[in-house]
Structure 1
Amino acid sequence: MQKRICFFVGNMGLGGIGKLTLHLVEEFVKKGIMVDLFLYKDDGEYMDQIPKEVRIFVHGGSYLGRMVRYISYLNKEKPMVSISSRQRQDILNVIGCLISYRKVQPVISIHTNVSAENKEQIGVRKKSIFIEILSKLLYKVPNKFIAVSKGVADDFAKWANVKRTEVEVIYNPVYKPYTELRDVQIPLTYEQLLREDKKYIIGVGRLTKAKDFFTLIKSYHIVKQKMDVALIILGEGPLRKELENLITELNLEKDVFLLGFVHNPQYYIRRASAFVLSSIWEGFGNVIVEAMGVGTPIISTNCPSGPAEILEDGKYGKLVSVGNLQEMANAMIDTLSTPHNPDVLIERAKDFYTEKIAQEYLDYIFEENP
């Protein structure tokens, strides 16, 4: 009997979960697994990259309506496994698998430090308290848990009050050989900036509080006083205006460039003199592996939970304290002044090869369903 897997995600939009889902879907299809996507919306930056073999089910509407349609999907289409990656989808996933008369195994994929994320959301939305309580109860149901780093696994087990041994750690499938990068249309404004002899530092991520690009820009301001180097930030998000105001306040309009979301960040990362991750917290840190994959030297905050694991506590890049401007600036100056061996970084990136990680997923989720 051919195996079928369902991915229960909101959409295929921006962010690590959308890209992770795409990578897993692509690899599963290559391995002959039948794959379904159960979405709330048929949109997102990665929708047009989904393999044609994948069936897509789109069901919006109310929370209750989604539940009814999800249970109907499980009963009719009979996937063996359904993977969800966010608390609200986790709730529907677990309840749906319990109510469905088909034997479907829910798999909960944990991508972030849930204690930190929930603390922030509860301060904004009262509904988040109810979601947190309900999800904790449902996580007691016999589920399979996959965490994207050891730190995330430790945090989740403590927060959800489940045994740490019940949480499997499988790193994100990030690395693909970038021997031939796709052509990228560079805005004319930045052609001069991106000429071969111009040095620049790069940061990549959503413009949100968690990514803390404020610290990166302020640290860069220190570096700029000593070195002729630019700063590029790739990504879009709700804090763009505040970041633009900071850039203006520091008189860095000709030096710092917010380029928004780009489909192929590796092109920019490969040509950068250094990559910096300034996050307050991460689940894993996909973009660190992407930088490794093109041999660009890395500076990262030692935030919970993934960066130190990827960099092996500083073996493959510099780790600095969260929010420490001077420490980050010193690390950037040192990195820009010191030669590095890109081959060492590329070799480390292969530990996160998409084909390898996809097989680890399959081995775990089907270990009792040969």
Structure 2
Amino acid sequence: MDVAVFVRSMNAGGAQRAMLRLATGFVQAGHNVEVVTLHTGGSFHTELSPDCTVIALRPKRIIAAVPALVRYLRRRRPDALLVTEPACNISVILAKILSGTSARVLIRESMFPSTAVKEDPHRSTRIAYRLAPILYRYADVIVSIASDMTSDLARWARINPSRITTIPVNPVVTPTLQAAAKEAPDHHWFEDTDIPVVLGVGRLHRQKDFPTLLRAFERVRATRPCRLLIIGDGPMRGELDDARAASPYADDIDLAGFSPRPFPYMANCDVFVLSSRYEGQPNVLIEALASGAPVVATDCPSGPRDILDGGRYGRLCPVGDVIAMAEAISATLDAPVDRSLSKARGSDYTLEKSVALYLEALSPDVAVL
């Protein structure tokens, strides 16, 4: 097939990273792939196969990309076009309708619409979800990444659940990840193996709830030597800097900024913590498992409970519960899950498995409205 993959950008974000990995996987499976984006470059560009062609549309805003997408579809006429993110989904659906082309459009939903329409800070996301009941039905294939998300999307977009394909396997574990996990982490704390390191990775945003992780760490630190390393950047950077400065354990807390390759930190930390209030399917938790990290995660909607198999592969704690999170961190430091078990669970989310499921979803046998 001639496959197009549309992403807003190739910068930090689990959705963008997943789509670029799928693009690489489609090439490896023998298909011709073009990655269509607003702008070239970005921190995830290096993960894209050199056999993928990159086409930049160059509008500054996603809604302004619709005319450029119409021209692209009429000129290139791909067999299939994959897209994720609500605003991008809406733009691609509009472009297909206006272009009159026959490309099979697959939209990938990675958030709970009923939550994101209230919680997501981006106005474009909230507007897109208001339009979903009108436009999502015109997609040829609709994919959600969790069964409970499928139910939420069906209710929100007023779509029959049978029209939605659930693919709970994100393209997370790649040879690049596995090789990077064997590298030495670039932080001096890992040179001192006597003091355990608690690790958090993600965008510094309200959704990820790093303030709860910081307070939980303080409770753990009050009882034993340990350190907290947070990898990521975002709008809550200033607030978290202030919280760190006010902490009695400020010297044991480091906000190290964004890294496109956090896997060496995951492989060498003593416990990885996902503190999110809500997720779609948290790739970072799968990455931590695949890197061999003992993990703790909030039992948030959705993903952690399924990924950890109800607690078999790591401890779960309630969302926003500082005491329960501190207890889970301490228990994991005392009795961590075997790292080989973590890696085995991570191997359930390989690029090859995910690509096979998306290609199956793109089959012409999939029902179209």
Report the equivalent of 1:132: 129
Residues 1:223 and 2:220 are matched in the alignment? yes
SS at match of 2:51: coil
Check whether the contact 1:151–1:306 (CA below 8 A) recurs between aligned residues: no
Q: Larger deviation: 337-346 or 277-286? A: 337-346
Check whether the contact 2:174–2:351 (CA below 8 A) recurs between aligned residues: yes
May I ask how many residue pairs the two structures share in their alignment? 362
SS at match of 2:310: coil
Q: Which residues of structure 2 form unaligned runs of 5+?
A: none
User: Which residue of 201, 212, 237 corresponds with 1:240?
Assistant: 237
Distance change in 2, residues 1:60/1:184 (3 Å): farther
Report the Cα distance in structure 2 between the residues aligned to 1:348 and 1:6, rounded to whole angstroms: 31
Q: Which residues of structure 1 form unaligned runs of 5+?
A: none
Report the Cα distance in structure 2 between the residues aligned to 1:252 and 1:260, rounded to whole angstroms: 19
Report the equivalent of 1:180: 179
Identity of aligned residues (%): 27
- Pairwise CA distance, 1:246: 0.7
Letter in 2 for 1:248: A
- Pairwise CA distance, 1:192: 4.3
Matching of residues 45-64 of structure 1 within 5 Å: 45-61=43-59
Report the equivalent of 1:98: 97
What is the root-mean-square deviation in Å for CA atoms of aligned residues? 2.0
- Pairwise CA distance, 1:68: 1.7
Check whether the contact 1:184–1:264 (CA below 8 A) recurs between aligned residues: no
- Pairwise CA distance, 1:193: 4.8
Letter in 2 for 1:156: L
- What is the TM-score normalised by the length of structure 1? 0.92
Report the Cα distance in structure 2 between the residues aligned to 1:70 and 1:257, rounded to whole angstroms: 43
User: Which residue of 323, 326, 330 corresponds with 1:326?
Assistant: 323
Check whether the contact 1:110–1:145 (CA below 8 A) recurs between aligned residues: yes
- Pairwise CA distance, 1:9: 1.1
Report the Cα distance in structure 1 between the residues aligned to 2:337 and 2:248, rounded to whole angstroms: 31
Q: Larger deviation: 325-334 or 286-295? A: 286-295
Residues 1:207 and 2:204 are matched in the alignment? yes
SS at match of 1:41: coil
User: Which residue of 20, 23, 43 corresponds with 2:21?
Assistant: 23
- What is the TM-score normalised by the length of structure 2? 0.92
Deviations 1:269-328 (A, max 9, x none): 111111100000000011111111122111100000111111111121111100000000
Report the Cα distance in structure 1 between the residues aligned to 2:118 and 2:139, rounded to whole angstroms: 26
Check whether the contact 1:150–1:305 (CA below 8 A) recurs between aligned residues: no
- Pairwise CA distance, 1:83: 1.2
Residues 1:147 and 2:144 are matched in the alignment? yes
Report the Cα distance in structure 2 between the residues aligned to 1:22 and 1:64, rounded to whole angstroms: 21
Report the Cα distance in structure 1 between the residues aligned to 2:224 and 2:218, rounded to whole angstroms: 10
User: Which residue of 35, 38, 60 corresponds with 1:37?
Assistant: 35
Deviations 1:35-57 (A, max 9, x none): 11111111320123322221211
Distance change in 2, residues 1:241/1:105 (3 Å): same
Matching of residues 289-368 of structure 1 within 5 Å: 289-368=286-365
Report the equivalent of 2:88: 89
